[in-house]
Amino acid sequence: MHKLALAIQKGGTAKTTSTLCLGGALTLLGHRVLLIDLDPQANLTGSLIDKTALEDRPTIHTVLTEDNVRLADTILATDCGIDLVPSSMRLALAEMALITAYNRERRLVNALDELEETAAQSGEGELLYDFVLIDCPPSLGILTVNALAAADYVIVPLQTGQYALEGLNDFLTTISGIKRGKINPHLELLGILLTLVGNNRVSRDVAANVRELMGNKVFKTQISNRAILAETGMKGPIQAYAPNSESAQEYSNLAQEVVNLVSK
């Protein structure tokens, strides 16, 4: 089970879109994929299921704040073959609830460990995931720390706009801190993903800049700014509603890169 967090402490960098569409592309390559929505805004959840159907069901919020709720009990199968651990607005309360909680940065680690054990013991094939993608909120609070504690790798989506580089260094420092502070010594930056790449000078300059600064830590694949992708919020992964689009192809290329990198 490869665990990947898509994170950076900024909104609008295509974290959620990339979680969804990378998940879709990995599924098409034949992998079992679980997506975890760790953002109280629950955009990922909303694009895969009808949120009103959640009502009394346990969500990631329940797993993080209550003992004895298993991650496995929150998992929902969705139409496109991707499984989801849903979020809800209530997750915003988790930050408060966790302030005094024991082992608060290891809640997701423990939940995923238990999931792996259950899958191994019971031979429950449907719980044997190849990839777990964690969609993070746009902040560096306890939720993102839980994701970085649990992940093997981080993917950092970076919007190639004017202020793209602001915040990147802070985030890379956070990753180093997580490693050095022993929260997760094995955490690795899998790559920086250039997103919303437009056909304009700012976008090209930023992309060139980041490639020069970060070298082979930048994915070769970059995701272009295309109107069709703005619809993923309502329609699920791009592969489900525009399988032959250039955007679907870009995420498919990314998936191939990711598979190659994690199998090294």
The piece of 16-24, 51-59, 122-130, 160-168 that touches Mg ion (CB under 5 A) is 16-24
Rounded to the nearest whole angstrom, what is the least distance from the CB of residue 17 to Mg ion in the complex?
A: 8
Cβ distance 237 to 24 under 8 Å? yes
C-beta of 38 vs 112, nearer to ligand ADP = 38
107 binds Mg ion (CB under 5 A): no
> Total residues contacting ligand ADP (rule CB under 6 A)?
18
Residue with tokens 């109280």: 40
Stretch that binds Mg ion, among 10-18, 116-124, 142-150, 223-231 (CB under 5 A): 10-18
195 binds, among Mg ion, ligand ADP, none (CB under 5 to 8 A by kind): ligand ADP
What tokens does 156 get?
A: 């950092």
Cβ atoms of residues 232 and 22 within 8 Å: no
Q: Which residues contact 241 (CB under 8 A, 6 or more apart)?
A: 231, 235
Q: Considering only 28-36, 48-56, 120-128, 219-227, which stretch makes contact with ligand ADP by CB under 6 A?
A: 219-227
- Nearest to ligand ADP of 9, 256 (CB atom): 9
Please name the amino acid found at residue 198: G
Distance CA 242, CA 188 (A): 32
Residue 110, CA distances (Å) to 88, 97, 105, 117, 150 in order: 21, 17, 10, 11, 8
Q: What residues from 182 to 201 belong to the interface with ligand ADP (CB under 6 A)? A: 195-196
Binding region for ligand ADP (CB under 6 A): 11-17, 43, 138, 195-196, 223, 225-226, 229-230, 232-233
